[in-house]
Structure formats: C-alpha cells, structure tokens
Amino acid sequence: MDKSEFTQAEEQMIQHAFEELLDAYAHTPHTQKVDLITRAFNFANKAHHGVRRLSGEPYLMHPLAVAMIVVKEIGLGSTSICAALLHDVVEDTDYTIEDIQRLFGDKIAEIVDGLTKISGGVFGNKASEQAENFRKLLLTMSNDIRVVLIKIADRLHNMRTLSAQPKEKQYKIAGETQYIYAPLAHRLGLFPIKTELENLSFKYEHPDTYAEIEAKLALVKGDELERFEQFVAPIRQQLTEMGYEFTINARIKSVYSIYKKMQTKNIPFEDVYDMIAVRIIFTPHEGLSEKDQCWMIYSAITEIYRPHPERIRDWISTPKANGYEALHVTVMGQAGSWVEVQIRTTRMHELAEKGLAAHWKYKTGEEENELDKWLKTIKEILDNPEPNAIDFLDTFKLNLFAHEVFVFTPGGDILTMPQGSTALDLAFFLHSQLGEHCIGAKVNHELQPMSYVLRGGDQVEILTSPSQHPQPDWLNIVSTAKAQTCLKTYFRREERLLTKKGEQLFNDAVQMMKAQDAKDTILQRTLNYYHLTLPTQLYWQIGQGAIHLDNLQQVAFPKKSLWKRINPFSSSSSKQGTAIAPDSAQAQPKKAPHSIVLTDDGLNKDYVLADCCRPIPGDEVLGYMDEDGLIHIHKLDCGEAQKLKTAHGKQICSANWNTHHVQSFVEQIEIRGIDKFGVLVKVLTVVATQFNINLRTIHVTSEDGIFTGLLEVYIYDRHELKDLFNALMNMPEVMSAHRVIGNNNQLL
C-alpha cells in the first residue's frame, strides 16, 4: 500500500463517507451511540492516515465501506460498526489489541482480535493457508457470531473493488468467495449478499460469458417488467380490497443464476423462462396469525391464477435451516408461462434480507430454532476437526447449501436433515453413541438398512446393538458433515489405541528375544522386511492383527552372514531416511508465476492439461503449480479448480492460449434430436465433410423417436467446436449439441 498525503478533495470524500454512515445508522432502531462510533472513526483515520489501497483511494474508504455494509445491509449496531472501522488497524499499523481494549472496551477488542486472527497466523507446511483461515473464522462462532458477519461484509467490499487486483489474485479471491463465502452467507440467511458474491465471482472468473448474459438480460428486462405489471395488477386490487398495507416487487434472476440454469438444464439463454419472480411483502393484521394470513393471500391469488399443484413451498410451517420463512406458489400467468409468487410478512422479509442479525432481533424465549441447531453442529465439528485443513474445509462445506427434508421421531417431533441423508446420518445427528451402535432403522414401521435415504415425512426409529461398531465403509453411507466428523474421529481414536497396543506387543516380543542388537536396529530391519516406512504403520498393523510377531527372530536375523544381514539395511535405511523426511523438513511448494502463455510446444513439457475437465485452446483456464514445479491447466469452472483456488491461492496463475492448429484434442460431444431417416448421415456429413473433423468413436441410440449420439472428435480449439455446434443446431432435426466433460454436460 502506498503512503502519501491526502488531497483536500480526498479528505472531504472520507468525511462525506463517514457522514453517510452516521445517517444510515440514525435510521436504524438501535440505541444511538454516535460518540463511540465517532471516536472509532477518528482513531482509524489517524491509524490509516496517508495509506492508500491498490486502486489509489485512501485506505480508510475500505473500513468505512465495510461499516456501511454492516449497518445498512446486515443491520448490526454500534459495536459491530466500531469493529468494522477498526478491523484492519491491528494488522496494518503499530497499534495493538491492548490499545483497542483500553480505548473501546473488551467486546469491541474481542471482535477486532477475532478478525485479525482470521487474516494472519502461522500455518503448517502442508496445510492450506486459506483453509486454516476458514477454520479460524468458524472458531470465532463460539465467541461472537458478529465476527463472521463483519468478515462477510469485508469480503463483499473486497469483491466490489476486485478490479484493482492483478488477474491471478482475482482468480484466487473469486474462487475462494464462490467456494465458501457465498455458501456461508446463504447459510446465515444473507440472501442479497450471497447473490451479489456469486455474481461478482462469476464476473471475474468468466468475464466474457458474464458480459454476454448481462447484455441479453438488459434487452429482455423491459419486456419482463411490462409483463410483471400486467401480472400483478389484479393482485394489487385484491390485496387492497382485503385492507392490507403491502409492496409487490419484481425479483429479476441474477446473471449467475441464469448461467447456472443454462448449464444444469442444457438450454440457451432464450429458453430460460422464469427470469422474474413476484415478491409480496405485507403488514399482517392484528388478531390473526401470520401463517393464516399468508394462506389467505395464497387463496386470493389462486382465485385469479391457476396454481401449479407440485410447486407449492410452505416455508412457514417448517422454516428453512437458515431461518428463511415464506410461502411460495407458482401460478400460470396471462402469457402462458409459469410465475413464482413469494408471500412474506414484513418480519419474514427482514429475516430473509438480513439473516442472522434479524433472527436474533425477533427471537423470543429460550426455544432453539434451526439456525441455533446449525451453529451447534458447527461447534461440534470444530471440537473434532480434521487434521488436514483441506479435508476440514470439505467437511464443513457439506453443511452449506444443503436442501432439507423433514422427518419425524417416533414421538412425533420434527427433525430437519439435509437432502440425501441416510438413517445412519440421522443416528449421528441425534447422538454420536447412537450412530456408533446403529444397525438399521424402522421407517414408517418397516425395517430398513442404515443406508436408507430419508424422504420428507418419514417417521424414523433408530435401532442399535451394543456389539455394533463403526466400519470403514460407513463413510460411503453417510453424507452429513456431523456423521463424517464423528466417524473419522472414531477411526482416529481406534487407530491410536491399536497403534499403542501394537507398540507394546512389539516391545514385549523384542524383550523375549534377548537379542544383543538394540531395539532400533530390530525395528528398522522389520520395517524393511514388510516394506513400511514409519514405525506407527508397523505398530498399527500389529495391533489389528495383520502382522504377527511369531517369526520376528527370522525377520530380524535371517540366516546369512553378518555382513550381508546388516549392510543392506544400513543402505536402505539411509535411502528411507531421505524418502520419509518429516513434514517440517519437506520443501515448500514453488510459487507460481503471475501468468503463463500456453503454446503448442509447451504441452506436457511446461504444463499439462488436467484430466478432470480436459480444457482445449479457447477455454477460460488457469494454472496450478504443484510441489514439483509442474503447472496443471484447469478450466476456470472446473470443480477441482474451485478447490485449488480456495486452498492454494499462491500456486495459482492466470493462463492464456497462443496455439496455431498444430495439435488436436479429443472432445466428447452429445447430440440429441428427432430420429428421422438419414439424420445420422447428415450429422456425419457436417462433421467430416463440412468441417473436415476426424472422428474417433461414435455411439448412437434411439428411443421413442429421439436419437442420442455420443461422438469423440479431434478438435483444434473451442472456436472450431463452437462453429461445429452452430452448424449442427442449424439442422432442423437437431435439438441440442454440447460437450460432455466427465459426468457433466456443458454448453459452449
């Protein structure tokens, strides 16, 4: 960060931003503590004076922007505003937490300390810095959830100003945001922030695709809003007659959600019909429950428009796990297309917009709702974290974006479980001991295996046996983070016990031999005999009975000359010592260059193309440098690339193609269409004759008049593939044509 004196205009800009912050704060229901906030602003202004961001603006504009998000978009109060203003002071200046504590009290100092710890820290050689950061972030939930909310606000402003960062930094930050911060915002009920984080991440990862969809959306937006006004006119009249104060808003799909729908449904932009949803927010009448009034409005709407019987979502009777409440119904509009209508009270709307902060505002009594249960689950995972930071991140992510199913206990209590949960997941959800001894379940009074996948409305009774113990294949049965954490903790505990038992058995066997040689010599010879590298591996196999010690004498002292017996061990021992250097001695991964150019002669020499996504020239790609210095090229939207950007940001580089049709690449494409006579000949004519593309394999099936063709073709680049698809789609018989990457279909 640069340091220089600010101009008068910059000083005025800072003061104006602070006055806007105070104005936003004045319009909140919080107890006004303007003096405290002013002191925090003056302190931060002094600490960051003369410091600039990469964009060139005064650094203080960042804490001010974060504080504005905290108060206006999340709805927090003076303590959080002060912490947001001060969140970078300890990390970036000479001031300490003790200074913050002395000037602003324990609570603000505790939150600033939590935010500082998330940013810094010393990490293990093999652990991911980012994953360790996330672990620290979640640990703060145990103390004060506001740390997490301010961190999300900090990330949102960083994403809004990401254009000032170099390309490789943009990839890392956008990937990290998409992988963990957007799902975390969703899980905490911050829906507008979650949507913006997803959109911004997509914008920086796929700028061309983003711009293309944004331009198309701008063209149709006017027509969509006109249809919206026609659709809601009779609803407005009906609600007015019912005496409600209300607002009706149009919710336009975000660019990212449109892209996601195009990918999952394999459809072009023009076929995304549900661009707009209708949101009704009303002030309920006194004397009637909110639930009853939502259903009354539902009845009024379905008197006007015909509802879709399978697309009613009652999130009022059973709120989502992130606290979301609303009644959704999809109805047939005037234009013959389905329109989703969301019905909410003003309280429900604030919960949906401001998430956890609003959840606490409206909470009454000691009852535990779904958000409280989720936070408790996170704390349980943190009590037994994965030793590997990346595995921990994956385990935690299982708790994000999980759709719910509702099941009942034998006593009639309702439980919320992630979609795809099994009976064994439910057993661990109820109690780890119940999970460890589970043998199956009674579902709706019928016996089912522990692998039974729960369905909404099931009544489930867990069956146990004291003789039952977890088996390694149980990890393939469970899908929830809590169950996986419990099982891995159990296996680690068992491994430690077996290792300790094996070590004792080995020591006893060595003592019984009464050998002149030291125990270390016998141990090394035994390791070499069984081709093992670590004593713990040997002890564990002895403990579980895989290795028996009856022949230890022959293993340690085979009938050969002393020279032949000892010399090979000393030689291999030295080699082994090199091979199994402890983690702390391992070489650090090389730092990747900022960017690389992908050329025809560099393939498999300077870089390799990843098998998981099989990129070809023209695809948007990035590079990941492994510990050996080899760069792996992944597509930007590859799942593995998302994880690498999050976990190994320093080893990511931007990559650009500079190839000249020297080398071809095998691509698998799928074509579907109407099975008319001669259609296959037409397809092959386009591929082989019109484009002169070589075929590797072809497989065609036909069912109910629809043909599906899987072709492997040799392609030079993405542009050639796109031209081929355009030509195929111009055939009247062809309905769709796309690449097949792994198990996922992808449009160009």
Q: Which residues are catalytic?
A: 91-92
Closest CA to 340 of 395, 276, 403, 284: 276
| H helix runs in 363-480, sequence order | 370-383, 389-397, 423-430, 432-436
Place of tokens 């198990």: 743
Query: Residues 364, 368, 372, 376: what is their CA dihedral angle, to the nearest 10 degrees?
Result: 140
CA distance 17 to 22: 9
CA distance 75 to 730: 52
Q: Are 664 and 715 in contact (CB under 8 A)?
A: yes
| Number of Cβ atoms within 10 Å of the Cβ of 450 | 21
CA distance 158 to 141: 22
Secondary structure of residue 120 in the 3-state scheme: coil
CA distance 36 to 47: 17
**H or E element: which one contains 276?**
strand 276-283
Q: Are 634 and 610 in contact (CB under 8 A)?
A: yes
Round the CA-based radius of gyration of the chain to a whole number and report it.
31
Q: Are 148 and 85 in contact (CB under 8 A)?
A: no
Query: CA quadruple 295, 300, 302, 305: dihedral positive or negative?
Result: negative
CA distance 68 to 14: 13
Secondary structure of residue 700 in the 3-state scheme: strand
**Residue 133: φ, ψ to 5°:** -60, -45
Beta bridge partners, 656, equal 597
Beta bridge partners, 405, equal 417
Beta strand segments in 421-496, E: 438-443, 446-448, 460-464
Structure token digits, residue 726:
């355009």
Q: Can you give the length of the chain in residues? A: 748
Q: Are 742 and 641 in contact (CB under 8 A)?
A: no
User: Mind giving me the DSSP string for 185-235?
Assistant: HHHTT-HHHHHHHHHHHHHHHSHHHHHHHHHHHHHHHHHHHHHHHHHHHHH
Alpha carbon of 656 to those of 167, 492, 633, 652: distances in Å? 11, 44, 10, 13
| Number of Cβ atoms within 10 Å of the Cβ of 71 | 24
CA distance 66 to 71: 9
Who contacts 668 (Cβ-Cβ below 8 Å, separation ≥6)? 710, 711, 712, 739, 740, 741
CA distance 264 to 738: 12
Query: CA quadruple 390, 396, 397, 398: dihedral positive or negative?
Result: positive
Who contacts 743 (Cβ-Cβ below 8 Å, separation ≥6)? none
Alpha carbon of 676 to those of 658, 688, 705: distances in Å? 41, 20, 8
Place of tokens 């909410």: 344
CA distance 105 to 492: 42
